[in-house]
A = this chain, B = another copy of it.
Amino acid sequence: MDNAAPQSPAGLSTTPSWLLNQSASHAARLLSEGFAAHDLRGYHYRLLATLAEDGPASQADLGRRCAIDRSDVVAAINDLAGRGLVVRAPDPADRRRNVISATDAGADEARRMGATLERVQADLLAPLSATEREQLTRLLTRLLRHHSRH
């Protein structure tokens, strides 16, 4: 990744898992570069965006929705709370839970990061036409849906 690939590994380059890996790796790099301007990382965005869109939720619930381990949610929410982007409050209805809510600043940051995400998205999909993008989205969605339940 430190320079242009001269050629791909012979048989590997047609392997879907290789292509997926490389594409995702590339996307992650672009995304991480973009998010760096906000001094936040992928986990933070997933959580913040989910909170901003779907409203307050418990940490366990956030973890399930964002596909982030409970223990990692703790750390990420700590970061976000430390910046005042999010508030952690005990759930009066269930004293095991914390209710996490995005603050106004958090919602703003979510919007800004969303814009960054869109820009990166456009960058990533530049070589594909609109219908091709939709094709890709559809295929990957099918893949995920098949594997994510059972």
Contact = CB atoms under 8 A, between A and B. Distances in A.
B25 A24 contact: yes
A17 B137 CA distance: 9
Q: Is the interface of A mostly helix, strand, loop or mixed?
A: helix
Number of contact residues on A: which range applies? 35 or more
Given A19-B144, A127-B142, A50 B136 contact: no
A117 interface: yes
A31 B17 CA distance: 8
Interface in A118-150: 120-121, 124-128, 132-133, 135-137, 139-150
A40 interface: no
Given A10-B50, A53-B11, A127-B146, A17 B117 contact: yes
Contacts of A128: 139, 142-143
A49 interface: yes
Interface in A4-27: 4-17, 19-27
A76 B11 CA distance: 20
Given A13-B141, A21-B27, 6 more contacts: A9-B66, A11-B53, A15-B121, A20-B140, A22-B140, A127-B147
Interface of A: 1-17, 19-28, 30-31, 46, 49-50, 53-54, 64-67, 69, 114, 117, 120-121, 124-128, 132-133, 135-137, 139-150
